[in-house]
Amino acid sequence: MKKNKVFYGWWIVIASAIVLAITGPAAVAVANIFQGPVTSEFGVSNGQFAISNLLILIISVIFSPSMSQKMASGHFKQSFCMGLICYILGLAGYAFAPNIWVFYALSILAGFGYLATTMIPVGLLINHWFVKDRGLATSYAMSGLGIGGIIFSQLVTFLIGNFGWRMTYLAYAIIMLIIVLPIGLFIFKPYPEEMGLQAYGANLGDNQTGKVSDTATESGLDFDQVKTNAFFIALLVASVLIGIVNNGGLGQFPPFFTELHGPSTAATLISLYSGIGIIGKLILGKVNDKTGIVVSTIYAAGLLVATYLLMTQASHLPLAYIAAITFGLGNAIGTIMPPLISADIFRAGSYAKAYGMVQSATMLGMAVGSLVTATIADLANSYQVSWLVLAIASGLAAFMIITSYRQAKTKY
């Protein structure tokens, strides 16, 4: 009977997807839905409102390495739950903010919550619980981001329209408290050993957890010995580029599509790539498990190159739809690849340090991606140049990731 039980790691995956569906969109995907009513009440510009989102991302850039190490050093639940409380207080505090300056202060608080409840903890959990099917488990968990974005964009829009933006922030905070906190307290288990289990695929011939090898989780490089080596620096630069090409599209596709085809068609295109993004994460995880880092990187980056080349011709509506599809499939690289490549290169004891640095670099790219894309378009007086730059950056990122990965595997 014991062998027929569902491996608990899969419950971790489901719980992670639920957590990301709630905590992820609040600071990124649905944040701009609040922009209109907040700027109107406070009498500030859209750019001033955007600073609050930027502050949240900056917290992740600065503190991802330290948060990753703290969570991996026996303080997972404490860090997760304290971060969640910060997130809840930040969102609830928005509901009572008298001006934009208090809003900024609360964004810093929410930033620590976002950091402690999204990519870092989920990446650590999947790495601890899975050796076999790690890519698939990661993609299932990360799919919560897309699902949550779809659900909460509709819910937040409805709540703001009927109850106002302040009550909507308060309602979001209550949802986090009721759903996410119990998951953090009672479902999340940082290590399978806490339950007398082993990571999925840790032991050869284990029918419960699959198979790989006894030393699967101990192979790899020591982070402290290679952190200044050229391959790792190149990997960090590539991660910044990945963040830029991901958020460059996410941030600037909406105004670009609206300008070309009107708000209704733009909304359809945005929904299309958001929905396909869920499938894209699942496909990329499976491709990685079957073929490895090199092929999965070529696959995802190739789709992004195709996307931005298609965007240069997006005035033709059929090509805009194709670009939305390829973008939905390819932009999974920004969430799926950082934990997978970190786990593939570094041994278990170094994973937290390496993943924290790689995630920090990716978040840096995401923080500036939309701004960089818009700035290039302003200077060139055309989005065409922006799309070409992002296409080149996608190819360059893939080249640097593959080169860094091969050097790590052969020279160190």
| Burial degree of 95 (CB within 10 A; 0-12, 13-18, 19+) | middle
- Residue numbers of the chain with a pLDDT score lower than 70: 1-4, 204-218, 412
CB-based contact 125:188 (threshold 8 Å):
yes
Q: Residue 390: which residues within 8 A CB-CB, separation 6 or more?
A: 244, 245, 248, 249, 304, 308, 373
pLDDT in tens, 54-77: 899 999 999 999 999 999 999 999
- SS3 state of residue 221: strand
* pLDDT at 47 (0 to 100): 80
Q: Return phi, psi of residue 346, to 5°.
A: -105, 150
* pLDDT at 412 (0 to 100): 67
Listing DSSP states for 10-60 in one string gives HHHHHHHHHHHHHHHHHHTTTGGGGHHHHHHHHT--HHHHHHHHHHHHHHH
Does the model's pTM come out above 0.85? yes
* pLDDT at 215 (0 to 100): 38
- What CA–CA distances, in Å, run from 271 to 174, 309, 332? 26, 21, 16
Listing DSSP states for 336-402 in one string gives HHHHHHHHHHB-HHHHHHHHHHHHHHHHHHHHHHHHHHHHHHHHHTSHHHHHHHHHHHHHHHHHHHH
Beta-bridge partner residues of 221? 346
Listing DSSP states for 285-350 in one string gives HHHHHHH-HHHHHHHHHHHHHHHHHHHTTTTSHHHHHHHHHHHHHHTTHHHHHHHHHHHHHB-HHH
Extract the tokens encoding 177: 């408290």
Beta-bridge partner residues of 200? 130
Listing DSSP states for 230-269 in one string gives HHHHHHHHHHHHHHHHHHHHHHHHHHHHHHHH-HHHHHHH
* pLDDT at 172 (0 to 100): 98
CB atoms within 10 A of CB 209: 20
- CATH 1.20.1250.20 intervals, the chain: 8-195, 223-411
Measure the CA–CA gap between 139 and 279, rounded to whole angstroms.
9
Q: Which of 179, 48, 59, 51 lies closest to 113, judged by CA?
A: 59
* pLDDT at 362 (0 to 100): 97
* pLDDT at 208 (0 to 100): 42
* pLDDT at 155 (0 to 100): 92
Which residue has 């920004």 as its token pair? 334
Burial 287-325 (b: 16+ CB within 10 A, else e): bbbeeebeebbbbbbebbbbbbbbbbebeeeeebbbbbb
CATH architecture, domain defined by 223-411: Up-down Bundle (1.20)
Extract the tokens encoding 268: 């359809």
For the domain spanning 8-195, the CATH number is 1.20.1250.20
- SS3 state of residue 210: strand
Measure the CA–CA gap between 106 and 186, rounded to whole angstroms.
28
Measure the CA–CA gap between 107 and 34, rounded to whole angstroms.
13
